[in-house]
Amino acid sequence: GKHRIVIPCLGHFKEEYEKVSKLYMNNKIRTTKYTLLNFLPRNLFEQFHRVANLYFLFLVVLNWVPLVEAFQKEITMLPLVAVLTIIAVKDGLEDYSKYKMDKHINNLLTKVYSR
Helices (H), 1-115: 14-21, 39-47, 51-63, 73-106
Mean pLDDT of the chain: 84
24 backbone φψ class: left, alpha, beta (φ>0; ψ -120 to 50): beta
Q: Going by C-beta distance under 8 Å and a sequence separation of 6 or more, which residues neighbour residue 110?
A: none
59 backbone φψ class: left, alpha, beta (φ>0; ψ -120 to 50): alpha
> Residue ranges of the domains in the chain?
29-107
Each residue's pLDDT tens digit, 39-81: 999 999 999 999 999 998 998 888 888 887 777 778 888 989 9
Q: Is the whole-model pTM more than 0.75?
A: no
